[in-house]
Chains A and B, each alone.
Chain A
């Protein structure tokens, strides 16, 4: 196990609703990155939080937003859910942003289904 915990593990939402996903980072880590993994594809980078600030964002619309707390846990919020948002959402915990020699550990993911 990696020490990165995501909740909930599974979630079903209706199109147009809002969802909040949570990630507890590994002890000692201060950076959390979020990824979206559609079925049969590789993960796609959504954004990264370092010391409570957004530190890079992928090609996702503003309805994808995030937050990092003083204990370095993080939330991913998605507004106005669309059917294509159905995916496995992964968070990865690491130490530092732009520094070398540390490994990122992934959580088990949250499976979101939008109906």
Chain B
């Protein structure tokens, strides 16, 4: 598995501002990507997914952008709320739906009221 440090990247945003969380994925053959939110003491919660034949997908208050050229994903959260405070992970998969996922390094989002 990948070697990562114990200190997660942290993003602090003011309540009501937009948040952008970035992720670099590793495998150019990956064709399915998911963003998860993980709150303390809980399992990862699905936020939004995107397949490799798309560049952008929008959900409720969230947008995922995929740049396959540079193997980069981003998650945009509009009007960030205190309940959005959590660790966010991107995950990649080969074979959409098979859910044998490779998770990236998480980003801790802290929302300042």
A residues neighboring B (CB under 8 Å): 2, 4, 31, 33, 35, 39-45, 48, 56, 58-59, 90, 92, 94, 96-109
Contacts and interface: CB of A to CB of B under 8 A. Distances in A.
Interface string B1-19: 1001111100000000000
Interface of B: 1, 4-8, 36, 41-46, 49, 89, 91, 95-106
Q: Interface on chain B toward A: helix, strand, loop, or mixed SS? A: loop
Given A98-B98, A109-B42, 7 more contacts: A33-B99, A33-B101, A39-B6, A42-B104, A104-B99, A108-B43, A109-B43
B42 A43 contact: no
A69 to B, nearest CB: 19
Contacts, number: 77
A55 to B, nearest CB: 8
Contact of B99 (A58, A59, A92): A92
Residue among A39, A40, A94, A96 with the highest chain B CB neighbour number at 10 A? A40
